[in-house]
Every structure is written in C-alpha cells, then in structure tokens.
Amino acid sequence: MTRPMQETMDMARRAVTHFVNRTTDQAASTYALDVSAYTDPARYRHEVEKIFREKPLALVLSIEIAEPNSYRATEVCGTPVIVTRDGDGVAHAFLNACRHRGAPVCANGRGQARQFSCPYHAWVYDTKGALISMYGGKTFGEVDVATLGLRELPCVEKAGLVWVCLTPGKTFDIDDWLGDFAYELETLDLANWHLHTQREIEGPGWKVCWDGYLEAYHHNTLHAETVGKYTVGNLMLHDTYGPHQRLVFGRKSLLQIARKPEDDWGDPSEHIRLIHSVFPNTSISGVVGDHCLVSQVFPGPTPETTITRQSIMTARVPETDAEKAATEAFSQMTLKAVRDEDYNMGFQIQKTLSSKANEAFVFGRNEPALQHYHTQVARFAAD
C-alpha cells in the first residue's frame, strides 16, 4: 500500500510551519517520572510480565522467513521462541523446547528447514509444530503423539510483521491491538523490502534505551556527526494510535522549501523522516535513499540490560558498487548513532540512576512521545 501524496504533503506542511516558527508539537504540560521506574527490580519484573509477555510483540519481520519452510529462532525476555513459515506459507510461533525433556530443537538464528530434530533424543517436529517421529518409538511406550507437538504461541502475520504473544493460550486480536496504526504500517510495504543485514547490540536498560528513540531534542548535540547532519533538532510531529506512535522529524532541506511555493517542493517525503514506533519495543525508521532501519529492543534479565536487534533493509537488492557503498554507509551511520552515541550516553545515564542526583526525570512539553510511552507503560502494567 502506498501512502497518498496528499497525506505526505500535509506532514511536510506541518513540518515547514514548525521550522519557520521554531516550534514543535507539544504535550499539554511537563511530565515527571520517578527514577524508580528505571531501577526498581520488582516493578521491572511486573512490567515485563504484563507488557512483553502478555501483549503482542512485533517479533519477526516477514522477510526474515520469506520462503516456505523457513524459520527464525530467538530468545525473548528469557523465552526461547521459534517462528516458522510452513510449507503452505503460513506463519507459526512455538516455544523452542522439545516436549520430551525440554531441550531446544534448533539453535538460535535463521534458516531453511522442513523439520527440527531434537539433539538430545531425536524427537522430530515439522514446521507446523507437529511431532512427526520419535527415535525408538516402539520401545518408548504409549503416548498421545497429537498432544506432544511443540507448544504453540499465539501468532498472526500482518503488515509485514509476525506478531507473537509469549504466553501460551493467551489470545489477541491484532486488528484491535493496532487499530488505525495498521494502515500506517501497511504504507511501509515491509514485506517487499530486502533484508541486507542484521546485528545484535547490547544496550542499557529498557527505558533508558527506549527513551532515545522517541525524541529529536538531542539530535543537534549527541548526533551532530550522524543523523543530526540531516535532521532539524527539537522539531517533531507527533501522532498517536492507541499505544503506538508516529513521529516525524524534519530534514535540513526544510530550509530550502520554506522559501518556495508548495508547487516547487517536489517530493514531500524527501523533506521529512517518519518513525513508526510500535508499542512496546519496535522502531521502524531511518528511511533515507531507499534504506530503512528496524530496531527491536528486548529487555534483559535485569533492569540494566537489553539486547537490540538492528535490521538494515533496502528497497531492492544493492547491485552496483555505488548502491553497495550507499547501503554500507547507511548501515555504519545507524550503528554509530545507536551504539556509539545513544547507547554510550545511555550507559552513562544508567550509572547516575542510583546516585540520588535525581528523584524524578522531567519530560518537557517538547517530548510528547516520551510522555505518551510512559503513560502507556503505566496503563498496561495496571491491567
């Protein structure tokens, strides 16, 4: 699905107005959040349980398992998961644990497989999770094979993403969960991009880490040599869709088009940068010259740890030397901006959390996405 040009023009028009007036979208007031929201272990465990284990997660890109009989195995919040695409093209999710004695049936990573054989006792499962053979089955004894398939997790594929709930038996309605945000995601056409590379980055705690994805207030200072070269600091459009958010940053080219009539603006998408923030942990951003960055932030075992999976995507397979160089340059810029700038700062912030320097963090009116996110965390943790 392609977004109508008029919608993109409306966003560019809003961005130009802010640029000219040196303004930004704002929340109604400032917002204070007790620092214990970042540090309290009991609160952390409760929030991870209520939000990351009980709500749908955008766990895998459809293009990660693009072909029939493909899979992605990973660990999320301590839960081993396999996401498969069966021979009929349907996505499934299972706990990566043999139903005999609990051994993982495949190693973490991506690949092609028609079946998974447990390395412990050679119980074999297909990509639909069914137990299809047992080594020494005649001597094992009577069991109901139909009840010993891999434990299935709630799973649905929509808008180029495979959504999974980590709690077996917990159902969800993806249309209800996404609401109007489904349209926003579908305009990205994620299922038809090319996955160039993926990497995992160790980061600071979940909220320290995620806060950096939700504002442009720091772009001129922290990112002066990376994304700050291209975006206007402290300028952001903010639209919410239930717990999800769309952020729009202005690009430096707003300076040129602000002096021209709208008919001379050209493609309005060249002057803004859209970030789709999928609650609670997926950011789809960085669309620059047919490149896209998808960041998935997964809480670690403690409030101070995370793993971020970065997926670098291109609109098509890079073929020429120039295309390959541009893709590698984008990949390295995003790595530097996130790992060396955002996360490096996050680790420094994390060291001050226990110092009593701050009893609360104050989010400004110019940080509406941060305010919205933490409000939604509190809402779902209270369910």
pLDDT score recorded for residue 262: 95
pLDDT digits (tens, 9 = 90+) for 57-86: 999 999 999 999 999 999 999 999 999 999
Beta-carbon count within 10 A of 275 CB: 21
CA distance 193 to 292: 9
Examine residue 280 and say whether the peptide bond preceding it is cis (omega within 30 degrees of 0): yes
Block residue for tokens 């139903």: 99
pTM of the model as a whole: 0.95
CATH number of 57-171: 2.102.10.10
Query: Which residue is associated with the tokens 């040129």?
Result: 256
CA gap 344, 349 in Å, rounded? 9
Coil, helix or strand at residue 209 = helix
List the chain domain ranges.
Answer: 5-54+189-381, 57-171
**What average pLDDT is seen over the chain?**
96
Those residues whose C-beta lies under 8 Å from the C-beta of residue 50, and which sit 6 or more positions away, are 380, 381, 383
Between CA 163 and CA 290 the distance in angstroms is 25
Sheet holding 282-285, edge to edge: 194-203, 306-314, 291-299, 282-285, 272-278, 244-251, 231-241
In this structure, which amino acid lies at residue 369?
Answer: A
C-alpha closest to that of 271 among 292, 256, 285, 290: 256
Give the tens place of pLDDT for each residue, 105-121. Answer: 999 999 999 999 999 99
Which three-class secondary structure state does DSSP give residue 351?
Answer: helix
Give the residue from 244, 340, 301 showing the smallest Cα distance to 79. Answer: 301
Question: Pairing between strand 291-299 and 282-285?
Answer: antiparallel
> What is the mean predicted confidence (pLDDT) over 300-307?
96
Condensed to tens digits (0 to 9), the pLDDT of residues 20-34 reads: 999 999 999 999 999
Both tokens of 328, joined, read: 């590698």
Statement: residue 287 has pLDDT above 90: no
Alpha-carbon distance 299 to 166, whole Å? 14
Q: What is the 3-state secondary structure (H, E, C) of 148-182?
A: CCCCEECEEEECCEEEECCCCCCCCCHHHHHCCHH
pLDDT at 288 over 70: no
Per-residue pLDDT tens digits for 196-245: 999 999 999 999 999 999 999 999 999 999 989 989 999 999 999 999 99
Q: Which helix (H) or strand (E) holds 143?
A: none
Share of the chain above pLDDT 90, in %: 95
Using 50, 70 and 90 to split pLDDT, how confident is the model at 335? very high
Residue 2, pLDDT score = 83
Structure confidence at residue 1 (pLDDT)? 74
> Which run of H or E residues covers position 260?
none
More confident residue, 383 or 361: 361
- pLDDT tens for 268-283 read 999 999 999 999 999 9
Residue scoring higher pLDDT (53 or 383): 53
Residue 358 and residue 354: Cα distance in Å, rounded? 9
pLDDT for 203: 97
Topology at the third CATH level for domain 5-54+189-381: Naphthalene 1,2-dioxygenase Alpha Subunit; Chain A, domain 1 (3.90.380)
Q: What is the DSSP string of 2-46?
A: ---HHHHHHHHHHHHHHHHHT-----SS-EEEETHHHH-HHHHHH
User: H/E element holding 257?
Assistant: helix 254-257
Residue 300 pLDDT greater than 80, yes or no: yes
Share of the chain above pLDDT 70, in %: 99
Tokens 């707003």 found at:
254
Structure tokens at 188: 């990205």
Confidence of residue 354 (pLDDT cuts 50, 70, 90): confident
- Half-sphere exposure at residue 131, Cβ-oriented, CA atoms within 13 angstroms: 20
171-201 confidence digits (pLDDT tens): 999 999 999 999 999 999 999 999 999 999 9
